[in-house]
Amino acid sequence: MRKLVLTGIVVAASLFGASSVLEYTLNSIDGKPAPLAQYKGKVVMIVNVASFCGFTPQYEGLEKIYEKYKDQGFVILGFPANNFGAQEPGTNEEIKTFCSRKYNVSFPMYSKISVKGEDKHPLYQFLTDKQANPATGGEIQWNFTKFLVDRDGKVIARFESKVTPESAEVTSAIEKALK
């Protein structure tokens, strides 16, 4: 596996050769490399988040489902992004403080990345690639788009911003993946 350094972020996967989200390493919100491979064997929800969005209260629902399912092998990964309406202008430290103080977020948060456009992070290039993920690919339309990933790192579902984390649609997909 070759390593690529892209604007200070180490990506442990080829831009075009990845077959799983587990092949990527991004920085945690604290700036330390945090390989997604550490979640092999878990059901993962990847969410692009923002602090000043109409959907920001979904942090509460995300935390609820994380607490409900984490002991069964479920994890949520939050990826702050400032791609939509400049709704995530803060630094990583400001984002971390906001999430912990306002919503008591305890699930893993990553450093701010781009999820759309020319500077789109390779993880999101993979997630939105219609060839790699025909059922769930396509451009991110707004904050709080949710991707559900199985225990082997394959994308199995996508939920758009308006679908709340605690909806029956989301929780039934999580429960099915955990079985």
Tokens 């949520």 found at: 76
pLDDT of residue 17: 67
Per-residue pLDDT at 10? 42
Q: How many Å apart are CA 99 and CA 160, to the nearest integer?
A: 21
**CA diameter of the chain:** 40
What is the pLDDT at residue 178?
98
List the pLDDT tens digit at each of the 179 positions of the chain.
434 444 444 443 444 568 899 999 999 999 999 999 999 999 999 999 999 999 999 999 999 999 999 999 999 999 999 999 999 999 999 999 999 999 999 999 999 999 999 999 999 999 999 999 999 999 999 999 999 999 999 999 999 999 999 999 999 999 999 99
pTM of the model: 0.90
- Residue ranges per domain, the chain? 39-178
> Which CATH number does 39-178 carry?
3.40.30.10
- The residues assigned a catalytic role are 53
pLDDT of 55: 97
